[in-house]
Structure 1
Amino acid sequence: MKSNFSLVLFYSVVDLYGRFIDPVVGFFWVETVGFLIYTILFTINTLHHRNIRVILHKVLYIVLISEFILSFINASIFTTLIFFPSNVILITLSYIISVVMNVIVLCFSMLISTGISIVFEIIPLKQVFAIVTTSLIFGISLFLLEFMATVSISFLIYVIIIIIFCCGYIAYFTCLMHFSRIAVNALSVHLDMISQRGINPNTSPSFKKIKLLEFSRNCSVALFFFLVVCYILYFVEVLNFWSIRLVRTLFVLILYGIICWKLRIRQAMSATYGDDEDAYAAREDSGSGCNQEDEEMRLQTLRQWAPGMTLPPIPQLHSNSTRIHSKPPD
């Protein structure tokens, strides 16, 4: 009797230990720690420079905090499911959180591609609607593709989910590339104007902005494509569940790491973003070395900028400022 009790206790401890070291639960906690580190580092960077300069930094800060809270709740839920594996409420809540986290990362990746706070001060409402809609469709379809492999469904529902996934995939990447092309084309026009004035465009802030947009877009496209391939392999039962969770965890942490590094606040904000009032003071001295024709040409060029664009006017050779302005000086 005592021997049987000891045996049962031993196997219970072994089973509980095996659940605790379940790779899936570990991946959720790794993701939580990763978001915590990113949030702390970005907070330190923000406090070091005393303020958040542009809308994009504020959105990134909110996204990091939101992802940390959601990942912490999700990790806690999966840890609790070790003891209560049949709790329907916890399982449903974990599904909802997974969908929300997918949609957040998709929305923010596309938001960067629009050039907000990098090229444009604001973006149209139709772009915001397109970002939210395509991200919702693609995020939900990714979840359904993962969920389908664990349940038995009819062939009709299977076909509908596949159609939703394909439409979401095509719509999301079409919008991603289209919005990125609009921002890059706006900067390319400005580089041509700089080149026509005899200034090397590769030394301008607009050139660095183009590189930032292209790098962010290419990283998003490559990582999302890799993620979709892994989800498809999981759906056809080539990869198991813990493998797809590992891929998703690494994908999310790598993407957010790239975003946080590229969009960090730097001392030389004039090379990237900024709307400092003291930048306009340096331009007052530049007018003394320009004749009336140059001044009229500059004013005529300023009238051609579309509302909302943060592109600077054509730089003057004698100007002491290379900052990017959200609006032309008065």
Structure 2
Amino acid sequence: MTDNSDKRFQITTEHSKELPNQFFKKSHELIFSQLALTAREHDMMALFLSRLNREHWTDFLEKRDIHAPQYTFHADVLKEWFGLSSKLLYPTLRSVAERLSSRKVGLANDSAEEFDFIPLFARVKYSKGALTIVPNSELINAYVDYSAGHAQINHHAFRSLKSEHSKRLYTLLSRFKDSGTHLHPQRIESLHALYGLLDEKGKLLKKSYSQNKVFIDRCIKKPIEEMTKCLEVSKDLEFLIDEKSGNLGFAPVMQGRRIVAIEFLYRWKMNDNQAEKLARVELEKETVPDNPMLQLVREAYQIVMVHPLEGNLNEKHLLALQSVEMGIIALPEDIVFDEVFRSKLDQAWG
């Protein structure tokens, strides 16, 4: 699979049958990152993720190769995936690839004066009817570490959706299909980040989204309406009505007269897919080098629980703990943020 002119590990997809029949995977960390994508960019990202496999990164992970793998998709695959004719491939994909190549995954914490913005890809190239994507190796954990959980996303349903907000919400809900998982009410500020509505300074890209009515209408109501009307989605996903507000698919969480959070009301109809469950179990067995942020969470937890024996927490520890609170990384099963931990946290930070 190696081209003599390029020493990268090559993954070439010439026919659609080489892609998964139904699902592509997306890690918990990537789902809960701050990332703004258009609908077409979502589809291109999904195409890349559908071919992604941890085995492709073996040489890189074991330090036998300094290069990230290279993924190439030929014209027949592109036409079917994007629903385009041969003549429309270049003019359509050019602008999509140009924007996607500049996109960054972001995590910022103004109170700690820390931020981390990482480009998604090192390169996106189109030549002779083929699209080539080189992922950024700095995102290795976000791409192939499924130990913290992941979403199995039906790519037929995903590609049927036209709005970027619908694709975003469908992905989020796909993360919580199993009976043992639950999507807790999401604060409005957290949803702003999850929907990619913030700039690199953490400010809203459009002032209109600061109005809850506008944000809920565009990013919650309309996506739910589109998913309800989409046959590919509605055969697996059902939205429930909030008895108090009458809203379809969500309930506002109030603080006085102000909406501070959203609880999504939905039910997956097909939660007995054995193939999907087996794939999920196998993926959860895989290990990759520890996420540095997760290592900081464990370190912070130890410092808090034995305080003052190991000193105080620093800004990086606080950022890691806040990333857990925001849902950006999942809390390990052996760590519990209970009342004892929280009562000691202030002392360790002080």
Q: TM-score, normalised on structure 2?
A: 0.19
User: Which one has a larger percent strand, Structure 1 or Structure 2?
Assistant: 2
Q: Whose RCO is larger (CA < 8 A, sep 6+)?
A: 1
The structure that has the greater radius of gyration is 1
**Structure holding more helix per residue:** 1
What is the TM-score when the length of structure 1 is the normalising length? 0.20
